[in-house]
Structures are given as structure tokens and as C-alpha cells.
A and B are shown apart, each in its own frame.
Chain A
Amino acid sequence: LAKTTQPISMDSYEGQEVNITCSHNNIATNDYITWYQQFPSQGPRFIIQGYKTKVTNEVASLFIPADRKSSTLSLPRVSLSDTAVYYCLVGDGAYNTDKLIFGTGTRLQVFP
């Protein structure tokens, strides 16, 4: 399973767009890229998943370049409630043991 590297922490202000980049140089052909959000004392929450190019849902956008060695989670117009830890994961979620490998994540702090 491919390892991921992401910034330990980021600060932002309400209303700003936040982009969190994740590096996954050893991503395999079958791997998807998935982002989870976690608030204190809660389980991670699935945000978005993609394989290539761009994926957008009601919460975020995920940008994946052609070489797929990195990805960027974009949170538009963050609010205080977006303060959380964000995890980038890569793996084959379709077959056999699809365990999730979490790193230490990116701690996003949003200020008023």
C-alpha cells in the first residue's frame, strides 16, 4: 500500500479556500485516493474519493494530476466547523483486504 505525505498542520481564516496537498509517489495503478475528516473524539468521516483528474461533491474538490503522484483536497470558504484533522489515504478499496492506512494527517485550524 502506498505511503502518503502531507503537512502536519495548516492555519486558515473563515471564508478562505484551503488546499491540502498529499504526496503519494508510489501509488499503484489500482489505487484510489480518499480523504477523511476527523473531529476530536469522533471517528473519521469520508469526504471524497477519486482516481484521476477532478472530483467535486457538496463538501470539497479533489484535484489529481495526470501522474497521480500527488493530490490536493480543496475546501472552499472554510468555517470554524472545518477545524479538524484531514487524512489522505491511497489504496485499492475494491478487492481483498482493503484496510485503510492512516498517517498522522493534517491538522487544520480555522480562525475567525
Chain B
Amino acid sequence: ETGVTQSPTHLIKTRGQQVTLRCSSQSGHNTVSWYQQALGQGPQFIFQYYREEENGRGNFPPRFSGLQFPNYSSELNVNALELDDSALYLCASRERGGTNYGYTFGSGTRLTVV
């Protein structure tokens, strides 16, 4: 198992810019979810992808978008960055249909918008 890896680990962007965050799922995992975690809060669900299709979305505006690739790696794109987008962004993967229902999380990307 290689776990879930995210890049970059830290990022500073200016308000109005666009950002792409990347995630490599754990080997064998076909489902990936993205979460936003503000300081002192629990992670908030952004969206989920299963076999390259979005199949669930949280309460986030359309400027948050994503992709899942055939090798199950994934991207989170955020357009028109706002100061409130500053947070830890977490990627999590699991094997849909497997016997282990627990998600494996990456260590996250710390995004700071100034």
C-alpha cells in the first residue's frame, strides 16, 4: 500500500486566482472524495468521484470542480479564489464494494489565499 498522496503540501495564492490540487489515491481504490477543513472545524465534504464520474456534491459553489482520471488519481480545481477558501484540503479514497468501509486520507494541502 502506498497510501494517499497529495501535492503540493502548502500553497499561497492571491484572491481571484485559480488553483489545482492533486491527489494520488491508494492502489486499488476507485472512489475519491475531497474535503475542506477550516481551522478548528471538522472536514466538510466537497464532492466525490467514482470511476471518473462525480456522484455526489456538498454545499460548495460551481467554482469548485474536479476530475478523476483512469488511474484513479484526482484533481480539485478552485476558480476565483476568495479569502475564505483558505483551508486544509483533504483527499480521501476507498474501494467501493470492498469489505473495508473506511476511507484513507492524505495529509492534505494547506491553501492560503491572501
Contacts and interface: CB of A to CB of B under 8 A. Distances in A.
Interface of A: 32, 34, 41-46, 49, 87, 93-94, 96-105
B4 interface: yes
Given A41-B88, A43-B107, A100 B33 contact: yes
Given A43-B91, A45-B105, A98-B48, 13 more contacts: A41-B107, A43-B4, A43-B92, A43-B105, A44-B90, A44-B92, A44-B103, A49-B101, A98-B101, A99-B33, A100-B45, A104-B40, A105-B42
A104 to B, nearest CB: 5
Interface residues of B, number: 27
Given A34-B102, A46-B103, A93-B101, A87 B42 contact: yes
Contact of B48 (A41, A99, A101): A99
Contacts of B108: 41-43
Given A41-B88, A41-B107, A97-B55, A102 B44 contact: yes
B102 A103 contact: no
- What does DSSP make chain B's interface, helix, strand, loop or mixed? strand
A100 B43 CA distance: 9
Contact of A94 (B101, B104, B105): B101
Contact of A96 (B33, B44, B55): B55
A6 B101 CA distance: 22
